[in-house]
Structure 1
Amino acid sequence: MFAKKDEEKMRTARWSVLFVGWIGICLYPTIAWAETIRFATIDYCPFTCDPSKEAGKEGFMTDVVREAFEQAGYTLVIDMLPYARAVDSVQTGKYDGIIVVGRDYAPNLVYPDEPTVVQRVAFLVNSGTSWKYTGVESLSGVIVGIVKGFHYVDPDLITYLEKEQRNEDRVHVIHGESTTRRGLLMLQANRVSTFLEGEYSAVYQLDKMGIREAVTIAGFTTEAFEDYTGFSPRNPDAARHAEILSDKITDLKKSGRLDGILRRYGIL
């Protein structure tokens, strides 16, 4: 008799556990069915950073992405790659998203409603240089340093760089990782006359390298560059991921919290 009662108690306990588990799934689906999103990124501080080199900082765009998706119950995996390979890996579906990308460079990705930030492209030169950028015509006799795969926003400038990119007397193309730092070192070594870089990453890297006074800005592009997080068109959940990030970016901008994130990186 006691064995039968014990068996009934155990059966009741099992059903209780199953019922509680079912209730948990209904009330907290993102926890019960946590998904992993794989992001490709680049070493492009302060947007996306290698935390082992930046005292634990991952970059302000990585911070925004983490806040958006971890609060929604997702697990993030982030791998650092060269820019062109990172974009290709997202386009082909190897990764679910890329944390920072120019929309014009990869128009087939799925994007949130607005960019995380907007910045101009700066023409950096060594201090004391008299040359100023006043348009494409002012590039005559100047060696320009650029990064492979980056979008330089002004149509006439893009046309010039594409035309001359195989002529190292006019354009030097930097490949691989740590491109901002390497471009500034090339500038200081006079291997290029001017290095083109987004103003946020330029200011951050100049401060980090301690050469803020040694380099100055000789002009800007006319148009601004929009920095997006993009998602793979091969992933059926891409639109949902973009919507989650859109809502977070809108919230951060309205509340002023995005400015607080940017200040942590010294760019506001």
Structure 2
Amino acid sequence: MKLVIGLLTIAISLPASAATVTIRADDWFPMNGDPNGDKQGYMIDMATAIFTAAGHTVDYKVMPWERAINSVREGKFDCVVGAYPEDAPDFIFPSLNWGMDGTGYYVNNASTWTFTGFDSLLTQKVGVISGYAYGEEFDALIKSRPDVFKDVSGTDALEKNFKKLVNNRIDVVVESVSVANAKLKELGFNEALKSAGTNAEKAPIYIACSPAKPTSKMYIELIEKGTETLRASGQLKDILNKYGLQDWQ
């Protein structure tokens, strides 16, 4: 009850008629997953808790990441989830992140290759996802070496990459550690594939809203205040527990 009252107070302080907040992204579980599943992803659960308590409804669907970014940028939809600032620097981001993400490098179980830095990737065929931001230095490397980095797209892009890896069509897959672990379990590939290393640093990930829509600033303010309320009330902990996760702060 305290959570609902707190979030409704936020909504009252930002007058607006009830709206449908449209969220788009590719499948990036546990951040966001199947819109029709029992577990849509913790970021979708957070967004739903915040926006519904403020009198709005949430319309969440998956699409290829590049298309999601472009569609939200054009104002066709309101927000994306699972975004780095590098993904869409022109978007409106909240001051509070919705997670910390580390990058892992995955290989066949029989492989002896290990990740020792970006240069070590240049001897491999590496699977990446079209439109993803991997960091300024890595993005430049991907662009400069199409002979090494092979991109795929679609709502099932990670699944495609892992299947290519299992079938020896590529040597390495680059992916978020938490997302990769969930996908490997889903596909039953835990024994076939393994981690060959991770980046030393983690990066913040966010929900971010369209630069083309006048409602975005209001939604971001709701998100910022709502995130604080979810954390203070204990509801954020409950949401994360559903996915076997802990608060990143």
- Normalised by the length of structure 1, the TM-score is 0.80
1:143-158 alignment runs, 5 A limit? 143-153=125-135, 155-158=136-139
* 1:57 partnered with 2:57: no
Inter-partner Cα distance in structure 2 for 1:31 and 1:253: 24
2:214 alignment partner in structure 1: 236
2:140 alignment partner in structure 1: 159
Are residues 33 and 114 of structure 1, via their aligned partners in 2, closer, same or farther at CA, if it must alter by over 3 Å?
Answer: closer
Amino acid at match of 2:94: P
* 1:202 partnered with 2:184: no
Are residues 59 and 237 of structure 1, via their aligned partners in 2, closer, same or farther at CA, if it must alter by over 3 Å?
Answer: same
1:250 alignment partner in structure 2: 228
Inter-partner Cα distance in structure 1 for 2:42 and 2:58: 16
Amino acid at match of 1:156: E
Say whether the 8 Å CA contact 1:31–1:73 is kept in structure 2: no
2:70 alignment partner in structure 1: 88
Structure 1 spans left out of the alignment, 5+ residues: 1-27
Inter-partner Cα distance in structure 2 for 1:198 and 1:253: 24
* 1:74 partnered with 2:52: no
SS in structure 2 of the partner of residue 116 of structure 1:
coil
SS in structure 2 of the partner of residue 145 of structure 1:
strand
Inter-partner Cα distance in structure 1 for 2:16 and 2:103: 44
Q: 1:130 aligns with which of 112, 116, 136?
A: 112
Note the C-alpha offset of 1:255.
Answer: 5.0
Identity of aligned residues (%): 27
Note the C-alpha offset of 1:131.
Answer: 0.6
User: Runs in 1 of length 4+ with deviation above 6 angstroms?
Assistant: 28-32
Note the C-alpha offset of 1:140.
Answer: 2.9
Deviations 1:93-147 (A, max 9, x none): 1111112322111011111112100111100111132111101221232011000
- Normalised by the length of structure 2, the TM-score is 0.86
Amino acid at match of 2:167: A
Say whether the 8 Å CA contact 2:106–2:194 is kept in structure 1: yes
SS in structure 1 of the partner of residue 71 of structure 2:
helix
1:222-233 alignment runs, 5 A limit? 222-233=200-211
Amino acid at match of 2:55: G
Are residues 140 and 267 of structure 1, via their aligned partners in 2, closer, same or farther at CA, if it must alter by over 3 Å?
Answer: same
Note the C-alpha offset of 1:37.
Answer: 1.6
* 1:263 partnered with 2:241: yes
Q: Relative to structure 2, which stretch is displaced further, 91-100 or 62-71?
A: 91-100
Amino acid at match of 2:92: V
Structure 2 spans left out of the alignment, 5+ residues: 1-11
Higher relative contact order (CA 8 A, sep 6+): 2
1:7 alignment partner in structure 2: none
Q: Relative to structure 2, which stretch is displaced further, 127-136 or 206-215?
A: 206-215
Amino acid at match of 2:47: V
Output the aligned Cα RMSD.
Answer: 2.2
SS in structure 2 of the partner of residue 223 of structure 1:
coil
Say whether the 8 Å CA contact 2:162–2:173 is kept in structure 1: yes
Inter-partner Cα distance in structure 2 for 1:128 and 1:266: 29
